[in-house]
């Protein structure tokens, strides 16, 4: 997948060797899932990390303990956030 200049203008492979894989009926679902994951999660990781840090600067982790996946974790899953 080629990113536009505003996104760094680089090429990102969603799967190893993806540059040489043609999207077709058999793999389109997997492509869409990986494309969406890249666009909504992986490419936004830095921003989401900064939001997390900002929230934790304002709300003590003791308040969040047991309520979200934000508390006391160096890594997190957006899937867990959707559960709340």
Residue 39 belongs to some domain of the structure: yes
Print the domain residue range for 68: 24-82
* Residue 72 placed within a domain: yes
How far is the C-alpha of 53 from the C-alpha of 65, rounded, in Å?
15
Question: In the chain, how many domains are there?
Answer: 1
Within a domain: residue 77? Answer: yes
Q: What are phi and psi of 55, to 5 degrees?
A: -60, -45
Asked if 52 and 76 touch (Cβ cutoff 8 Å), the reply is: yes
This prediction has a pTM of: 0.50
In a domain, 13, yes or no: no
Q: Would residue 7 count as lying in a domain?
A: no
Report if residue 10 sits inside a domain: no
Which pLDDT belongs to residue 46? 82
**What pLDDT is recorded for position 37?**
87
Residue 8 lies in a domain: no
Phi, psi of 70, rounded to the nearest 5 degrees: -75, -30
Question: How far is 58 from 8, CA to CA, in rounded Å?
Answer: 32
Q: What is the pLDDT of residue 25?
A: 95
For residue 3, being part of any structural domain is answered with no
Q: What is the pLDDT of residue 44?
A: 77
* Local confidence pLDDT in tens for the 84 residues of the chain: 766 666 666 777 888 888 889 999 999 999 899 888 888 877 778 888 888 889 888 887 777 776 655 545 555 555 555 554
- Phi, psi at residue 4, to the nearest 5°? -75, 170
């Amino acid at each position: 997948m080629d990113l536009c200049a505003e996104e760094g203008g680089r090429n990102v492979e969603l799967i190893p060797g993806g540059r040489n894989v043609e999207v077709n009926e058999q793999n389109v679902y997997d492509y869409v899932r990986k494309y969406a994951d890249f666009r909504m999660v992986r490419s936004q990781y830095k921003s989401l990390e900064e939001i997390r840090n900002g929230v934790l600067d304002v709300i003590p982790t003791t308040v969040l303990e047991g309520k979200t996946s934000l508390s006391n974790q160096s890594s997190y899953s957006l899937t867990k956030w959707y559960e709340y």
